[in-house]
Chains A and B, each alone.
Chain A
Amino acid sequence: MTYVKPSFRHPKLPVNKIGFARREYEGAISTLCAGCGHDSISGAIVQACFEMAIEPHRLAKLSGIGCSSKTPTYFLGNSHGFNSVHGRMPSVATGAILANKDLIYLGVSGDGDSASIGMGQFVHAIRRNLNMLYIVMNNGCYGLTKGQDSATADEGSINKSGAENMFQGIDLVSLSIELGATFAARSFSGDKHQLIPLIKAGLSHPGFAFIDVISPCVTFNNNVGSTKSYDYTREHMEATSAIDLVPVKTEITNSQEEGTTQQIQLHDESYIQIHKLASNWDPTDKLSTITKIFEAKSRGEIPTGLMYFNTESKDLHTVLNTTDTPLNLLQKEVLCPGNAKLSGINASFR
């Protein structure tokens, strides 16, 4: 079966400030199961990139292996994509970012991909503060290999075959904060009002931006007893915040509810505007965030929103002190010391 999208485009479709319609941010038609949470996330990515007027060719999308990792085919069809090997997208992203600091990098992964086989690479991507947005489409199970429990499945959660998960689930958000992620968020694939602004903010963040998105697997993990099903997530989700990204040069509107809105300036002078819902929770304070996450967990709640944010993010290139020109553009004249230097080098070995 082949999927072909009609190429007809209505001339009056709304376009963004670089003249692209939303359709130009779409990809091939999805081959995921109908209703899969991952497709909603793809939709949110399309919308966010459209609204941000990202030039598709300036964004590189990378993934590992899994249903979730297939999604880059289904969004941003005009962007370069890289489907790497299972769990090893972070290292490929690291290399790509080293080679060209000027593109926008979007990494997509699954909970199996990132929390099991790729855990090592995931934590080191955070540690190196790669300038990228890293989305885990978290369904608590392995979709592509037909429903085995993943490492993020909660203890006691019931899988489709009725078996209870005996092991503790890994909480990727608190882990990422612990490891020094400078932007950590959680959302739900079914809540695009929350997810789209988070994606926009993550893409604007000058460092590692992590979003864990609960994304139910309708085929293998949407049953009663699953803690990553649509119903369970809707019932237990507690939004700690809603955010907006206020782009550069747009006037910053005053919040009507004084005291519940916080504005954080990004390096490009845009702002993240956080509307706080949970009390006593400060997204710029690690300890406060971690405490809130654990408290919510003990109440059986899933806190969502921008959980933690650090304005003093120094990305890998800043740490390595690399030149401003992307390394992949440097020419022989700069790179090769030439013959005169080589004869001196030879002399030093005599």
Chain B
Amino acid sequence: MSNEILINDLVVRFANVNGTGSASANNMFAKSVFRMGIPVSPKNIFPSNIQGLPTWYEVRVSEKGYLGRREGVDIMVAINAQSMAKDVQEVKSGGYLIYDSTKLLAEELFREDIHYIGIPMIQLCMDHYPESSQHMLLKNVIYVGALAALVNIEVEILEQLIKEQFKKKEKLIPGNIQALHLGIKYASEHFVCPLPLHLEKRDLVGDRILVEGNNACGLGALFAGATVGSWYPITPSTSVMNAFEKWCNKYRVDPDTGKKNFAIVQAEDELAAIGMVLGATWNGARAFTATSGPGVSLMSEFLGLSYFAEIPAVLIDVQRSGPSTGMPTRTQQSDVLAAAFASHGDTKHILLFPANPTECFDFTVIAFDLAERFQTAVIMLTDLDLGMNDHLCKPFAWDEEKKYDRGKVLSAKDLDEMSFGRYLDVDGDGIPYRTIPGTHPTKGSFFTRGSSRDEYAKYTEDGDVYAKNMDRLVKKWNTAKTQVPAPEITIHNPNAKIGIIYFGTSSYAAQETVDLLKEKNILVNEMRMLSFPFSNEVKQFIDQHEQIFVIEQNRDAQFRSLLMIELDINPNKLLKVLQYNGMPITAAFIYQSMMSQIK
């Protein structure tokens, strides 16, 4: 056990019982680190269960600003008897175990190489609060207090957080603040505080915010002008529509009439949810839905209709571990191929891959523009890690000058001045013009259908006409390559022979890995993918390197397949780095996987 002092670099894990109100206490800890100006990255690790099972909350604090998960627990707050034996084993050698010492800890739970910090949490509650109903909740605040003393969190910040949390239930504030101090006092009196492993105030956070990806998606849809939302509940996407509804109720209700400038329908299933989206966009509104893997499976037929009949749709897929029900509360990036090629026949869809909540906001707005510009489905692939955890990210920004891109929609005046063929490639970019029902008394109406038709929307089974239309769709796809967000390429060394490709939430750990490799004098260049179809730079980047590592969180290297399929790349060149245990990928994992494969 070293006595080295480590500042602002630790992982704290809270082991709780689901449904005991620990979430807000744990969250208070993370937020206080954030308010001390130190980069922080919290993660919920929860069961697919409402109450009773073990649940964890893990907080990584990183002076260097790394926001990916890091293995190894420095401080375990072990409150769950059910998982105690396992939790004890997770603590790094030299680390700390904070537990409720009201009851004696069983002998087999003792390890030689870690420190035990017993705080009699329930006892303190019983001594100070008459109502037993409060004990469970206040116990959580007591351990936050103890932690505050042990790792040196500013008390004022925590008190402020308590006040904010109970803004609407002021009666509860004094009791909670008292509990906080009970924890602080007990820890300071019985242990040497702070521990060698502790926090120091910094200014490393700047104007960044701490927010969940799903919340950011809902906000993005508000700013993007979505007026129709339909969805069917599924973890981990449910909070997208909840957020959208919350924001709409705040900013889209007419103050005079109380009437709503939006409509949200909880559909009977995902088939209906996406059907409603297509009906609404066909009729000229911006509409979207949010779901996860099983929902994408059900939506596939309609996604094919969207592609072939050229009807805009925005779908936010918050990925979880598949296949089938898989591990519904664990993260993964395993819907890549299902989303890219959703539906039968030759179909492909525009995909967006945000990596943080700021991008969830921005890309949601972009998704609506792209969907209308290209009259097709745009699927944004986030994941549980991004959607349901707080992430430190740049504040949301909005350009007041921005206009919504409604695409090639003809007005009554346009129709008076021109002849209209729904699927004519007038501009040579593969994108036809459309009309919205009700626009013009005599011109511009047409029949939307999923069966083959000619350029004037007339049904046909003529094979040549069909093939011509399919080729125009490819042309449109090629146009899209130039308008989707381009990859973010970082060339550390123009002579580097190794390139890494990653997307979404793998980005945090991938970027950290670059630093780990640098320490071993291995230089790699990076390409962070933001979208599909792939622009020309993607092929160039791959061509410029001898070995390309594709980092992703699924078993079958789906993104690598997509690169191979779309760009005709020699599979031998694309090496796999795959984590698929449902936990967010870590830099240590990527590093090891790469080291074993570098030639």
Which A residues are closer than 8 A to B by beta carbons? Answer: 55-58, 60, 62, 72-73, 77-85, 88, 90-100, 102-103, 120-121, 124, 128, 317, 320-324, 327-328, 330, 332, 334-339, 341-343, 345-346, 349-350
A102–B439 Cα distance when bound, in Å, is 12
B154 CB, nearest partner CB in chain A, Å:
15
A29–B382 Cα distance when bound, in Å, is 48
B280 and A323 contacting across the interface, CB-CB below 8 Å: no
Chain A interface, DSSP helix/strand/loop, else mixed? helix
CB-CB under 8 A for A92 and B276, given A85-B305, A335-B225, A336-B223:
yes
**B110 beta carbon closer than 8 Å to chain A:** no
A103 and B437 contacting across the interface, CB-CB below 8 Å: yes
**B258: chain A residues within 8 A (beta carbon):** 321
B450 and A95 contacting across the interface, CB-CB below 8 Å: no
B398 and A321 contacting across the interface, CB-CB below 8 Å: no
Nearest B residue to A317 by beta-carbon distance? B263
Q: From residue 438 to 460 of chain B, which have CB atoms closer than 8 A to chain A?
A: 438-442, 445-451, 459
A121 and B459 contacting across the interface, CB-CB below 8 Å: no
Nearest A residue to B252 by beta-carbon distance? A335
Q: How large is the interface on B (under 10, 10 to 19, 20 to 34, 35 or more residues)?
A: 35 or more
A58–B223 Cα distance when bound, in Å, is 30
A75 CB, nearest partner CB in chain B, Å:
12
**B120 beta carbon closer than 8 Å to chain A:** no
**B257: chain A residues within 8 A (beta carbon):** 323-324
A262 CB, nearest partner CB in chain B, Å:
35
A57 and B440 contacting across the interface, CB-CB below 8 Å: yes
Nearest A residue to B435 by beta-carbon distance? A80
Which residue of A78, A84, A103, A321 is within 8 Å of B259 (Cβ)?
Answer: A321
A78 and B445 contacting across the interface, CB-CB below 8 Å: yes
A94 and B272 contacting across the interface, CB-CB below 8 Å: yes
Q: Which 9 A-B pairs have the closest CB atoms?
A: A95-B279, A91-B275, A99-B285, A80-B437, A95-B280, A95-B276, A328-B284, A92-B279, A349-B209
**A323: chain B residues within 8 A (beta carbon):** 254, 257, 259-261
B398 and A95 contacting across the interface, CB-CB below 8 Å: no
**B141 beta carbon closer than 8 Å to chain A:** no
Which residue of B251, B441, B448 is within 8 Å of A341 (Cβ)?
Answer: B251
**Number of residue pairs spanning A and B whose beta carbons lie under 8 angstroms apart:** 219
Q: Beta-carbon contacts of B24-42 to A below 8 Å, as 1s and 0s?
A: 0000000000110000000
**B449: chain A residues within 8 A (beta carbon):** 81-83
**B578 beta carbon closer than 8 Å to chain A:** no
B280 and A332 contacting across the interface, CB-CB below 8 Å: no
Nearest B residue to A83 by beta-carbon distance? B449
**B287: chain A residues within 8 A (beta carbon):** 95, 98-99
A85 and B276 contacting across the interface, CB-CB below 8 Å: no
**A91: chain B residues within 8 A (beta carbon):** 230, 267, 271-276, 279
A332 and B403 contacting across the interface, CB-CB below 8 Å: yes
Which residue of B210, B280, B438, B447 is within 8 Å of A58 (Cβ)?
Answer: B438
**A98: chain B residues within 8 A (beta carbon):** 228, 263, 265, 276, 279-280, 285, 287
CB-CB under 8 A for A335 and B459, given A92-B282, A345-B396:
no
B450 and A327 contacting across the interface, CB-CB below 8 Å: no
Which residue of B302, B397, B441 is within 8 Å of A342 (Cβ)?
Answer: B397
**B262 beta carbon closer than 8 Å to chain A:** yes
**B150 beta carbon closer than 8 Å to chain A:** no
A83–B459 Cα distance when bound, in Å, is 11
Nearest A residue to B390 by beta-carbon distance? A349
A320–B279 Cα distance when bound, in Å, is 18
B397 and A103 contacting across the interface, CB-CB below 8 Å: no
A332 and B276 contacting across the interface, CB-CB below 8 Å: no
CB-CB under 8 A for A322 and B259, given A121-B268, A121-B272:
yes
CB-CB under 8 A for A100 and B396, given A124-B268, A322-B263, A327-B262:
no
A73–B260 Cα distance when bound, in Å, is 35
Q: From residue 210 to 259 of chain B, which have CB atoms closer than 8 A to chain A?
A: 210-211, 219, 222-225, 227-228, 230, 251-252, 254, 257-259
Nearest B residue to A80 by beta-carbon distance? B437
A341–B225 Cα distance when bound, in Å, is 15
Nearest A residue to B301 by beta-carbon distance? A85
